[in-house]
A and B are shown apart, each in its own frame.
Chain A
Amino acid sequence: MIDDASPAHTGRRNALRALAAGACLLMVRPAAATPEELAVAIRELFGERAINPGRINLEVPRLAENGNIVPVTVTVDSPMTEQDYVKSIHLFAESNPQPRIVDVELGPHNGRPRVATRVRVAISQHLHAIAVMSDGSLWSTAMEIEVTVGGCAP
Chain B
Amino acid sequence: MSRFGKAWVRLSENPRRGQPVEIRAMIIHPQESGFRLDNVGRPIPRNIVERLICTYGGKEVFRARLHPAMSTNPYFVFYVLAAQSDDLLFEWTDDRGDVATHTVRLEVSD
Contacts and interface: CB of A to CB of B under 8 A. Distances in A.
B103 interface: no
Nearest to A122: B69
A120 B33 contact: yes
A106 interface: yes
Interface in A70-111: 70, 73, 93, 96-98, 100-111
Contacts of A120: 33, 68-71
Contacts of B74: 117-118
A121 B83 CA distance: 37
Interface string B62-94: 111111111110111111110100000000000
Contacts of A100: 67, 69
B34 to A, nearest CB: 8
Nearest to B82: A111
B62 A105 contact: yes
B61 interface: yes
A118 B64 CA distance: 13
B69 A69 contact: no
B21 to A, nearest CB: 8
Interface residues of A, number: 37
A37 to B, nearest CB: 13
Given A111-B81, A115-B77, A154 B68 contact: yes
B36 interface: yes
B37 interface: yes
A114 B78 contact: yes
A98 B69 contact: yes
A151 B33 CA distance: 11
B66 A29 contact: no
